[in-house]
Amino acid sequence: MPKTRIKICGITNLDDALYAIDCGADALGFVFYNKSPRFIDTLKAKKIINQLPPFVSCCGLFVNAPQQTIQAGIDANISLIQFHGDETTSECERFNFPYIRAIRAKDSSTLINAQNAYPKARGLLVDSYDPKLYGGSGQTFDWSIIPSDMRQKIVLAGGLTAENVQSAITMVKPYAVDVSGGVESQKGIKCRQKIKAFCDAIHSINTISDIND
């Protein structure tokens, strides 16, 4: 089974960013959505990103944002856009910038339709469906709805914790997993013990997979 990558989302300060990297995070997420308790402005995000070591992907999360807001995120030196709202294919592609598309999972057809609608997306971030939220509900969903032939383009999100992430990886075999609330002491505040436990759980299952391969 290929190695599963780790994305820690909702980063709001440099200490959390560096600690997540030290624990083995491959990517960090910055939430540029001002209705989120994990919101960070682009200037502060840029200061953090510019102090990070090389080879760490920095993802900017946007929800139905105006063009100037997205451009400010790009100018903050993010490496990937995460569209998490109702953006159309043309709206996702207008910047000619790498992006992933977040999908709130209802059923398999929702995911298949999204894969067809966003062919240039680097991947699909699959989150729990909540009619009132664009993400961050902290709830898991039925992982079996993810078609097996899509799984290596999937970033799995939604209610993941150190306690359930190994089961999720074993079942889904996603390219990456994404966590925010599952490594927090409270919304917007990261917990170092939870970050380490989450990353250690993934490294453990990745090691077992390497041995079995």
Give the catalytic positions in this structure.
Answer: 9, 127
In the chain, which residue ranges form alpha helices assigned H by DSSP?
14-22, 42-49, 67-75, 89-93, 108-117, 165-172, 192-212
Euclidean distance between CA atoms 74 and 205, whole angstroms: 34
DSSP 3-state assignment of 39?
strand
Residue 7 backbone class (left: φ over 0; alpha: ψ -120 to 50; beta: rest): beta
Q: What is the dihedral of CA 95, 18, 23, 8, to 10 degrees?
A: -40
Q: Could you tell me which residues come within 8 angstroms of residue 71 by beta carbon, excluding any fewer than 6 positions away?
A: 95
